[in-house]
Amino acid sequence: MRRTLAGLAALLALSASARAADGDLKTLAATLASVRATHGMNYDRDAGPELTPVKQQLRAWIETRMPARADEADLAALTRQLNGAIEAAGLTCGAPRRGSTRCEDSFDDIPSQQDARGFLGDVEVSARQSGRYLVVKTDVGVRCGYDESAYVYERRGASWALLLQSEQDRYGDKDYHPQNFLAIDISPARAGAKPPLVLTLGLSPWCSSNWQMIYARLWRAAPTSTTPRPLLDTAEEFYLDDDSVSGSRLTDNDVLFEYHGNSIDNTVLIRPHVMHYRVLDGDRIERVQPVALNPQDFVDEFLSHPWDESARWIDPSADSAALAGWHRALRKGPSRFIGEFDGDATRCAKDVALWQVGLRADNAKSDLDPPLYFFVRELGSYQFMLEGIGPRPRPDCTIKVAQKKTFDTLFPRRGER
């Protein structure tokens, strides 16, 4: 009974705070109206510096409603109230499922290219690390989607203080990378430890094509700045499908995430990509294994990166000079190697930890030309090392392994535990 009354009191307090802050939406509404009357300097996204005040005013409005505690039920109620308020004020595109929208349905007479410029999307407030941190996510409309910002708050005394923000405020063609967040993670706090690591994983929104970009950024929070220099800032091609991203994991000294991207084999087209980084002393980062989930993908990864990175994935007993020569020869010309795997990888009977992977380069004259063979040692737990490359197969490497119907993953798929 006491818990019920306490919950009711919290909801009433949130409602009172919401009514008191509604007036702040008038300023935000006026700013959005002025944005809708123009177009942005970034033509592709219909975005420009005029969006930054929208982001700042929206964040300031949310901050007036920050809860006293990071209770899950309170945060869910607050999220509903925030979204209800901006919808009631006419600041969103509306409800397409009800057949109504305030946004343009085309841009320069291009159909199905919705422009949400001058409108807002969903707001979300959630807790991390058992309520130690709050994360606020906001959506500001651009062409073909929303530009999402993330704000991380930590408890300082009796209030919440902004710890770190991920906000896109540079709008040049090469600088502006709006994204929709797939993950916002904060590393576990430890007594006497450094400030936490913060990971954001996001994809670029667009109206068409399943091929997008995926952005991964890792920061060390800093007490003197809410925008510290990222330790990791990557952008890779990404294939958007039902199992697009299997998951991510962040600890106090490493980060691991997985996504579906392209393959050097155009007949395969898509494969899982595994990115695992260790955070070293001085907040330097180093990519470590696992870098692939099977021997064939390991060869794909080996040929997809410069030698100074791929060289870390060769067996200590291997002839590194010979492998460097093969790597240089295969990557000569186009910056990205293209080839075709010659069937499935096979195990070697005399050494079952060794795999043989056949690969034909794209400059092969015909299917009758012999492939090259990569010999990959499996060390267990998705750990692989390259032992050699040569023009001839080993006679004992003929053990076929039944191929799975789905990609391997380091994370549970949706609906699995």
Segment 163-181 shows an average pLDDT of 95
Is 253 in contact with 279 (CB distance < 8 Å)? Answer: yes
Pairing of strands 232-239, 211-220: antiparallel
Query: With bands split at pLDDT 50, 70 and 90, how would you rate the model's confidence at 406?
Result: confident
**Amino acid identity for residue 165 in this structure:** Q
Q: Is residue 393 part of a domain?
A: yes
Note the pLDDT of residue 108.
Answer: 55
Per-residue model confidence as pLDDT tens digits over 355-399: 999 999 875 544 546 789 999 999 988 999 999 999 999 999 999
* Distance, CA of 346 to CA of 342 (rounded, Å): 11
Closest CA to 341 of 239, 262, 267: 267
Q: Is residue 302 part of a domain?
A: no
Note the pLDDT of residue 243.
Answer: 58
Q: Is residue 44 part of a domain?
A: no
Choice among 61-75, 139-153, 374-388 with the minimum mean pLDDT: 61-75
Q: Is residue 381 part of a domain?
A: yes
Q: What is the separation, in whole angstroms, between the first and last Cα of the chain?
A: 34
Residue 98 has pLDDT above 80, yes or no: no
* Distance, CA of 140 to CA of 121 (rounded, Å): 6
In this structure, is the dihedral angle defined by the CA atoms of residues 299, 303, 304 and 309, taken in order, positive or negative? positive
* Mean per-residue pLDDT of the chain: 86
Q: How many domains does the chain have?
A: 1
- DSSP SS3 for 20: helix
Q: Is residue 366 part of a domain?
A: yes
Is 232 in contact with 253 (CB distance < 8 Å)? Answer: no
Higher pLDDT, 78 or 416: 78
Per-residue model confidence as pLDDT tens digits over 42-54: 999 999 999 999 9
- DSSP SS3 for 357: strand
Note the pLDDT of residue 269.
Answer: 86
E strands in 143-284: 145-156, 159-166, 180-186, 197-203, 211-220, 232-239, 247-250, 254-262, 270-279
**Amino acid identity for residue 310 in this structure:** S
Range of the domain at 322: 314-400
Note the pLDDT of residue 106.
Answer: 55
Note the pLDDT of residue 333.
Answer: 59
Per-residue model confidence as pLDDT tens digits over 215-265: 999 999 998 999 999 999 999 998 887 655 668 999 999 999 999 999 999
Whole-prediction pTM? 0.86
* Distance, CA of 166 to CA of 94 (rounded, Å): 26
Q: Is residue 343 part of a domain?
A: yes
Note the pLDDT of residue 7.
Answer: 42
In this structure, what is the dihedral angle of CA atoms 13, 14, 17, 19, given to the nearest 10 degrees?
-110
* Distance, CA of 213 to CA of 204 (rounded, Å): 5
Higher pLDDT, 68 or 97: 68
Choice among 302-306, 334-338, 372-376, 399-403 with the minimum mean pLDDT: 334-338
- Give percent of the chain with pLDDT exceeding 90: 67
Q: Evaluate the omega torsion of the peptide bond into residue 188 and state whether it is cis, within 30 degrees of 0.
A: no
Segment 304-333 shows an average pLDDT of 91
Q: Is residue 215 part of a domain?
A: no
Closest CA to 150 of 116, 189, 178: 178
Q: Is residue 361 part of a domain?
A: yes
Note the pLDDT of residue 18.
Answer: 42
DSSP for 73-128, written as a single string: HHHHHHHHHHHHHHHHTT-B---GGGT--SSEEEETTEEEEEE-TT-B---EEEEE
- DSSP SS3 for 155: strand
Choice among 46-55, 109-118, 207-216, 260-269 with the minimum mean pLDDT: 109-118
Note the pLDDT of residue 407.
Answer: 81
Note the pLDDT of residue 100.
Answer: 58
Query: With bands split at pLDDT 50, 70 and 90, how would you rate the model's confidence at 169?
Result: very high
- Size (the chain), residues: 417
* Distance, CA of 275 to CA of 127 (rounded, Å): 26
* Distance, CA of 125 to CA of 203 (rounded, Å): 20
Segment 294-320 shows an average pLDDT of 95
Cβ atoms within 10 Å, residue 384: 25
Segment 137-154 shows an average pLDDT of 96
Query: With bands split at pLDDT 50, 70 and 90, how would you rate the model's confidence at 267?
Result: confident
**Amino acid identity for residue 372 in this structure:** L
Element (H, E) at 139: strand 133-142
Note the pLDDT of residue 404.
Answer: 75
Choice among 86-95, 203-212, 406-415 with the minimum mean pLDDT: 406-415
Query: With bands split at pLDDT 50, 70 and 90, how would you rate the model's confidence at 415?
Result: very low
Per-residue model confidence as pLDDT tens digits over 339-355: 899 989 999 999 999 99
